[in-house]
Amino acid sequence: MMLAWMCVIGVAEAGGGPWVLGPGDQTIYVGMDVQRLTQLGIQAGPDPADYTTIDVGEGLSSFGVKAIANYGLLSRVELELEVPWYRVSANRVDVEPCLALGEGSCKTTQSIGLLRGQAKWLVLDELQGMPLSVSLGGTMRYGGFTAPARSRITNVGEGTTDLGPSIHLGRTGGLGKGGYWSAYTELYWLYRFPSTDSYQGSDLGPDAPVSAPMPEWVLNGEALFSPDASVAFGPSFSGLYRNGLDWYELNLEDPDRLAALGVYNMRVGGKLVIRNERGVAFSTGFLRTVVSYNNPSDAWLVSAGLSVPTGLGRP
Amino acid sequence: MLLEVGERVAGRFVVDHLVAEGGLSEVYQVRHIELGSVHALKLLRADHPGITKRLLMEGRIQAQLTHPNIAPVTDVVRHKDRVGLLMPLILGKSMAELLERRVQIPVAESLELMAGVLCGVSAAHGAGVLHRDIKPGNVLLLVEGEAMRPLVTDFGIAKVAESMGNATRVGSAMGTPGYSAPEQVLDAADVDVRADIFSLGVVLYRMLTGRMPYVSPDGSVRIGSVVSEPYTPLGVADATLPDALCETVDKALARSAQDRFADVHEMAKALLKERPKLLARVLAPSGIGPISFELPTLDPVPDGPESGAPGVTLMPEAAEQPAPTPNLAFAPAPTEPESPAPLPAAEEKSPLIWLGAAAAVLLLGGGLWWWQGEDPVTEPLAENTPEEQLVIDQAAALKPISPPSPEEPPAEPVEEEVLLGAPSELGEPVVVGPGPSGVESSGIKPAGEKPVEAVPEGPDQEVPEEPSAETVASDGPDVVEPEEGEDVVAVVDPAEAPGSITEAPPVPEEPEQPPSWSGPDVSGAWSGTAGGRPATMLLKMTPEGQVSGELVFILGATRRSFPVRGSVDQQGRMKLSSGSDLSLSAQASEASINGSYEQGRSKDQSIRLGR
Ligand SMILES: Nc1ncnc2c1ncn2[C@@H]1O[C@H](COP(=O)(O)OP(=O)(O)O)[C@@H](O)[C@H]1O
Ligand SMILES: [Mg+2]
């Protein structure tokens, strides 16, 4: 379940949207994020009225550091590589979800998270006959490092390898007086090579075995306003949807119990970027869960990091 | 309410009224239309196939566990897609209601009621069934004359030895807060008869003291309380109770299963040492033959008016059969080591590289570290610490010696009478209901009369954690210096074709401009889009059309600045460059700049800027 608050694509630290670096251009982002939650919404029974929010004692928190490198490969084609490391811990382990999921399910986990590589190809430039810039992407995630702890509520991933396309739409314009705005939204679909295709739910679950996890949709967006090029701020959002079983249908003895969960959530927040003349940018942002299903209902994420242009493509 | 009063059910019953509401069900009093007999109908609120399956299993278990202290199920009734279980109506209602009215039950009476419960549970265990949800609400009390016979009911989350291992689910198999054993709370699939022993202990503790044995400091009882809260020994909760009784209850309530009684018979032997008659009943063979829990492969014929009336046995007699062979796999292995509470695990070593990266960010982002500041790791299932054990032992030792309980007659042959606690046998007759002598039973002790001394300290589970961040000298990426001042290019000839930019000496030549400038004034701030990305430009302009300034591309979070120089002519044709890194040609007006540029290996990029 933590997948939905931990490892989601999004929180565009290194930039998001359709825009790509010029060939040979490089940037590196190094940042950290902290997340905290105290409540889980779960579908505890078959009736919609059985949806309840349970307390996670004094909460779960995570701390992560990550590095993201971006590289302009060709004209209009950019590569991105992300390497995160996470530490997730429960402030109390003697609370309901930890107890329900069994001993060790709330043990502190620290591990390399999901390695992510992405290629993005700018297919339409808003200045060339289109009102929008559009790029198409392909993402691959590798979760091998997260597999051993995937059954924990404190996992940092579900141990799968994921692959899928994405589309990124964006538009930017002047604000006058040297200011600009930019806005984008992007949609990812990820096929998640299932850890198991014979996950058998509880006696309240489906009769036939299912595969877990199911594919995942991610929708992100951000709008930034920049009175001049040195500062930008604005709202952002990030949503996730995955089909799967309800909490009450889970067979809790299977290590893929959390991967089998069907979840969705929507988090909204804001972002602030401050850039110096050399292009070094400090960015910070937060996201807060506003809608969730079988997922943390009050998660906060705060991130901060530095982006540095490390290479300029030369002719 | 699922059913209306007067509604016909399954063609042969009519609803009298709602009796009680359970977790997933409603229980109605129904009347057989043709026979006039009165029954209880437990009807599922949900029509979910999984829950239905479980109810049918519950019915099968209870129907086959024919025993005087187990509530019988006599039929399955289907009504409008819902499934229900038909039972004899137990008029005395449940032990939960008794405990609501009478906060404490005297020792003798508690033991008599408990003996009946032990009989029922022991019979279930003998047949290979774990109840897993023993609590006052699941013990019905049948009023028989002036006495009460306990009937164990609600085998809704029962576990049939090994055959239902896959059936765990949250919120149900975990049982009931305060009554479920610690190991059941932690893993409901991995329990044995000792989990039921624990619950029996809680029920008895509750009867004797009106309190729960494991309570959170705020007075609440949560599902995890049995795991994490300190135990108040029975002798501490009520110092007037006999020592032997306290020891027995304390043992049944041991947090670790291996410290409890190995089975119900052992518990009964300790509890009923002084009541040989009651003990003999518990130890008597249950008389339950082999039972089968396989669900039928044939769909039952739906109920209808044409279906015959079911044979309703109100009070099944205990059949005289040899005791079934106890299911050996089901009994706990006495020597089986309980997996010890995991000590705070030494955290796996974190890759130093990421701590280094964290430190680099720390220099800048800094103040967010408080988030990680406190991170106590508490461990579940801590055993009593030696200090606690000392307190417990002292409390037990200091307890005033209670007067010896009245001598029981020596063991008598097992009576076939099912009724436990016949008036003649009871110190205080038990009367249920609001009758004249009912509420003021002489044995009532209001709760709170005696202060309960809770064990003062909880297990010291807080393990301070090593600070997780080791600060490593910052070794962040090198910052690229902008190449300001080198390779500055001035585009001299405004008439030159776009794109053919020539290198020029650093000092720009004087452009050939008329003295009075009539072209657009491009000085000031611009912003818009370049190459599909946000871009801004700040320009200064001489009266002769010489232009210099800075063009900024926004690249993700970062930005890239290019110092630019060039010119604009009277017609607004603008050429700018930044050494060999960038060249731009555009049509400029007072309000807009539209054109194209090359930057590095990116050719023919569009740029559109406005004010
Ligand atoms: N045969 C019965 N006669 C009278 N009351 C009953 C009977 N069976 C159950 N009840 C009442 O209904 C309540 C709920 O029944 P139970 O079987 O425990 O259902 P649930 O599984 O929903 O908890 C009991 O606590 C009791 O008060
Ligand atoms: Mg019940």
Cβ neighbours of B589 (radius 10 Å): 15
pLDDT for res B75 = 94
pLDDT for res A46 = 79
Report, as an integer, the average pLDDT of B456-463.
41
Report how far residue B243's alpha carbon sits from residue B525's, in angstroms, rounded to the nearest whole number: 90
Report how far residue B157's alpha carbon sits from residue B51's, in angstroms, rounded to the nearest whole number: 10
Report how far residue B21's alpha carbon sits from residue A147's, in angstroms, rounded to the nearest whole number: 44
Whether B391 has a pLDDT exceeding 80, the answer reads: no
Strands A115-124 and A51-74: unpaired
Report, as an integer, the average pLDDT of B415-430.
35
Whole-number Å distance, alpha carbon B41 to ligand 2 midpoint, is 14
Q: Which two tokens stand for residue B202?
A: 């809680």
pLDDT for res B318 = 36
Whether A205 has a pLDDT exceeding 60, the answer reads: yes
Whether A67 has a pLDDT exceeding 90, the answer reads: yes
Whether B270 has a pLDDT exceeding 90, the answer reads: yes
pLDDT for res B490 = 38
| Torsion sign over Cα B179, B182, B188, B190 | negative
Q: Which is the CATH superfamily of the domain at A3-310?
A: monomeric porin ompg (2.40.160.40)
Report how far residue A260's alpha carbon sits from residue A272's, in angstroms, rounded to the nearest whole number: 36
Report how far residue B166's alpha carbon sits from residue A201's, in angstroms, rounded to the nearest whole number: 8
Residue indicated by tokens 């494991």: B214
pLDDT for res B371 = 33
Going from N- to C-terminal start, the domains of chain A cover 3-310
| Nearest chain B Cα distance for residue A289, angstroms | 18
Residue B480 or residue A42, greater confidence: A42
pLDDT for res A161 = 94
Q: Which two tokens stand for residue B142?
A: 């049948």
Report the percent of chain B where pLDDT is more than 90: 31
pLDDT for res A129 = 67
CB B232 near ligand 1, within 6 Å: no
Report how far residue B310's alpha carbon sits from residue B295's, in angstroms, rounded to the nearest whole number: 20
Q: How many residues does chain B have?
A: 611
Whether A220 has a pLDDT exceeding 70, the answer reads: yes
pLDDT for res B357 = 45
Whole-number Å distance, alpha carbon B27 to ligand 2 midpoint, is 10
Whether B536 has a pLDDT exceeding 80, the answer reads: yes
Which residue's alpha carbon is nearest to atom 19 within ligand 1? B22
- Determine the residue type at B135: K
| Torsion sign over Cα B432, B434, B438, B439 | positive
Whether B588 has a pLDDT exceeding 80, the answer reads: yes
pLDDT-based confidence at A53, cuts 50/70/90? confident
Whole-number Å distance, alpha carbon B73 to ligand 2 midpoint, is 15
Residue indicated by tokens 């190991």: B183
- Determine the residue type at B28: Y
**Which domains does chain B possess?**
92-320 (1.10.510.10), 524-610 (2.40.128.120)
pLDDT for res B276 = 92
Residue B169 or residue A301, greater confidence: A301
Rounded (10°) angle between helices B264-271 and B243-252: 160
CB B154 near ligand 1, within 6 Å: yes
pLDDT for res A56 = 77
Check: CB of residue B571 under 8 Å from CB of residue B564: no
Q: What is the ipTM of this complex?
A: 0.84
pLDDT-based confidence at B304, cuts 50/70/90? very low
Check: CB of residue A140 under 8 Å from CB of residue A162: yes
DSSP B159: E
B133 belongs to the catalytic site? yes
Residue to substitute in B42, B85, B313 for testing ligand 1 pocket (most ligand atoms within 8 angstroms of CB): B42
How far is Cα of residue A140 from the mean position of the Cα atoms in its chain?
13
Check: CB of residue B150 under 8 Å from CB of residue B141: yes
pLDDT-based confidence at A59, cuts 50/70/90? confident
Express each pLDDT in B162-193 by its tens digit. 444 444 443 346 678 889 898 887 777 778 89
